Amino acid sequence: MRSNVYIETYGCQMNVADSELVMGILKNSGYEITKDINNADVVLMNTCSIRENAEQRIYGRLGNFKNLKTGKSNLVVGILGCMAERLRKDLIEEKKIVDIVIGPDEYRKLPEFISVAINGEKGIGVQLSRTETYDDIIPYREDGLQAWISVMRGCDKFCTFCVVPFTRGRERSRALDSIVNEVKQLSEREFREVTLLGQNVNSYLDGNNDFADLLAAAASVDKKIRIRFTTSHPQDLSDKLLYTIAEYPNICNYIHLPVQSGSNRVLQLMNRTYTIEHYLKLIEKAKQIIPGVSFSTDIISGFPTETYEDHLMTLEVMRQVKYDGAYMFKYSAREGTKAYKMGDDVPEDVKTKRLQEIIDLQQQISSEKNQQLVGMEEIILVEGVSRKSDNFLAGRTDTNKVAIVPLDEKIKTGDYVRIKINKATSATLFGDIIEIIDAGENGLALTA
Ligand code: SAH
Ligand code: SF4
Ligand code: F3S
């Protein structure tokens, strides 16, 4: 009998990509993938440890599985991903419903672990590897427009607040050829957007090829495929990378460049290895080299010892850079990290208040930036009919903003169209269609 596997994914895009790898591995071993948990013989959760509340949510969900298991005693429950690495044995011992605990570098063993678990034995595989990149595994992806590709694994930066270097192990890059081949396969399946993923893509290295070389190679596969990437660490973003983004029309003019804090004192305690002056210079340089570039960021509020003055400096950086978007978090102390030992001394209500000020400011900036686009032209990739109304199409700009245009019979999902923005809110642009663009012929440059 064939077993049906159901998988639920939490955390960052790397986990989304890993779940596709896991499904690829399981399909190769004869398992079926199901989207219906009630139809599953094996239930897997690909988990995230980045903040306390991420783990709490997953524990809550595990509680639900308990009921499922009561009704179906041979159901196999497995924990994958970052929590598997961080909590290991505790998960099997404390939460009796878990049969398999398997970390990010041991997914090849999953079929074996499942068959052992079906016979009633528990399995733990949490070794981290210096070399595993799953280069030879073809991830299982449904048809669509957008795909994630992991280009490297692990992280060597050791920011003092972060669990990732512990849960994902040392940094290692995939072979450039295998990544380019994956983009080719996606091109044949008519995908239109690929996001290259790594915790710090700027340190990608395969032989003599750095990340700029990889981006150029990926962008050369198919002019109709937009290339995005995340995340860039501000310490080692090279000029060569900026020139490469500028050179290829199908590499999006959009850089996610997490600043974390506006205070040099806090940045140093975070081990971020750059100063705000360096960061702002980088932003200026990127603006000069890549016309129309925009930025998004990550910000942590309430890091240990953060004062009100430090907080004001963060707000000031936000005003200076004018990010298109920001992911904003309250500091969450994680056992085993260096910052954990610094104490968690900013009171919860102060963290909440500061975070709210950060969110409010970003909202205001996003709305102002979007207003400035009214009257301008943008190219969008049409993703389908708008969620709110069948009379409109929704797409995304180069800088990842959602844009809504009136329905037009000539336009299909996956087309690129030039639009003129006529209205904007903080989250959405509205526009009129000017023309459909033949991206294969003319490329995606606005000036083409
Ligand atoms: N490698 C990427 C992303 C890491 S995780 C990078 O360096 O940017 C995504 C974001 O989660 C981080 O940028 C940080 O802002 C946030 N984060 C990580 N650990 C955290 C913690 N302990 N508390 C609050 N936010 C955290
Ligand atoms: Fe975590 Fe820093 Fe690595 Fe990002 S660069 S994953 S924040 S240690
Ligand atoms: Fe979470 Fe692990 Fe990603 S901790 S953010 S799933 S790398």
Q: Is the pTM of this model over 0.85?
A: yes
State the burial class of residue 2 (Cβ atoms within 10 Å of its Cβ: 0-12, 13-18, 19+).
exposed
Q: Indicate whether 447 pLDDT > 60.
A: no
Pick the ligand that lies closest to the CA of residue 47: 3
Pick the ligand that lies closest to the CA of residue 14: 3
Is there an atom of ligand 2 within 6 Å of 337 CB? no
Specify the fold of 253-371.
Answer: Transcription Regulator spoIIAA (3.30.750)
Of 300, 303, 341, the residue with max ligand 1 atoms within 8 A of its CB, to mutate for a pocket test, comes to 300
Residue 236: pLDDT band with limits 50, 70, 90: confident
Per-residue model confidence as pLDDT tens digits over 274-313:
999 999 999 999 999 999 999 999 999 999 999 999 999 9
Contact 36, 6 (CB under 8 A): yes
CA–CA gap between residue 85 and residue 104 (Å, rounded): 8
Q: Does residue 359 or residue 389 have the better pLDDT?
A: 359
What is the CATH code of the structural domain delimited by 143-228?
Answer: 3.30.750.210
CA–CA gap between residue 199 and residue 211 (Å, rounded): 13
Specify the fold of 377-437.
Answer: OB fold (Dihydrolipoamide Acetyltransferase, E2P) (2.40.50)
Tell me what pLDDT residue 441 has: 67
Which residues contact ligand 3 via a Cβ below 6 A? 11-12, 14-15, 48-50, 81-82, 163-164, 167-168
Per-residue model confidence as pLDDT tens digits over 423-435:
999 889 999 999 9
**The tokens 């012929």 sit on which residue?**
441
Atom index in ligand 2 nearest the CA of residue 231 equals: 4
Ligand 1 centroid to Cα of residue 69, in Å, is 34
Cβ neighbours, 10 Å, residue 210: 21
Please spell the DSSP secondary structure of 171-215, one letter per residue: -EE--HHHHHHHHHHHHHTT--EEEEE-TTGGG-EETTEEHHHHH
Q: Indicate whether 158 pLDDT > 70.
A: yes
Ligand 1 centroid to Cα of residue 33, in Å, is 31
CA–CA–CA angle 195, 197, 201 (5° rounding): 120
Which residues contact ligand 1 via a Cβ below 6 A? 50-51, 161-162, 164, 199-200, 231, 233, 258, 260, 298, 300, 329, 331-332, 334
Atom index in ligand 1 nearest the CA of residue 199 equals: 1
Tell me what pLDDT residue 18 has: 98
Domain boundaries, the chain: 4-125, 143-228, 253-371, 377-437
SS3 54: helix
Pick the ligand that lies closest to the CA of residue 229: 1
Asked if domains 143-228 and 253-371 share a fold, the reply is yes
The CA R_g of the chain, rounded to the nearest whole Å, is 23
What is the CATH code of the structural domain delimited by 4-125?
Answer: 3.40.50.12160
* Percentage of residues in the chain having pLDDT higher than 70: 98
